Amino acid sequence: MTADPYTAERIGLDWLRAAVAPVGAFGRRHDETIAPYGPGDEEQARAEIAACTALAERLPVDAVERLRGALRAVPEPTPIVVRARAGDPLGDVDFYELGRFGDALEFLARRWDEAGGPAAGRPPVLERLGRLLAPGRDGPGFYLADALGRICRARARRCATLMRISSAAGWRPPSALRRCWASSPRARSSS
C-alpha cells in the first residue's frame, strides 16, 4: 500500500511497516529476494496472511519478543561463504560466526515447530555444518577448541604436500590450493 506520510501515520501504516520489517541483516537480505505482490496475487497474499496470523495466534506473547531477539542475532553468513567459495582461508572468527548462524537457525526451527508452523516455511537446520564445526566448538566462548585447530593443521599439511608434488611434477596447482599455501604459516616462515 502506498500512502502519503500523513495518511501512513494516521492509519498506522508506519507502525505496521516497522513491526513486520526484518530485524537483522540476514532477514533484510532475505526480504530483498521476495518479490512484492502484484495484480492477480491476491489469493496468495490472503493465504500467506492467514498462515502468518494462525502462527502468531499460537505463540505466547513473550515468545514474539524472544523470536525477534533471536532473529536480530542471526549473523549474516554471505561474506564468509563468498570468501570460502573463492578459496580464501577462513579464520576462527569466521568459523565462530558460521556456528552462530547454524545455532540461530536451529533455535528458530525449534520455535517454529513448537508453534506448529507449516513445514514449507520452516527455517532450515544446517546439520552438516554443525557436524563439521562440532570438533571445534568448546562451549559458547569466542575461541574454537583445539580439536578444530588439529583438523586445520592436518589440512594445511595436505596442502603443503600437494604444493610440493605439483612443483615436482611441473604443473600449476589450482588457485584455491595456491591461496591455501600462501596463507599458511609454513609458507610465510619459508619466505
Task: Name the residue among 165, 162, 160, 170 with its Cα closest to residue 190.
Answer: 160
One-letter amino acid of 130? G
What are residue 138's DSSP bridge partners? Answer: 140
Residue extents of the structural domains in the chain? 1-32, 61-144, 146-191
Per the CB < 8 A criterion, the answer to whether 131 and 99 are in contact is no
pLDDT tens digits along 3-61: 677 887 787 777 777 777 777 777 788 788 888 888 898 898 888 888 878 877 888 87
pLDDT tens digits along 76-125: 888 888 888 887 887 878 888 888 888 888 988 988 888 888 888 888 88
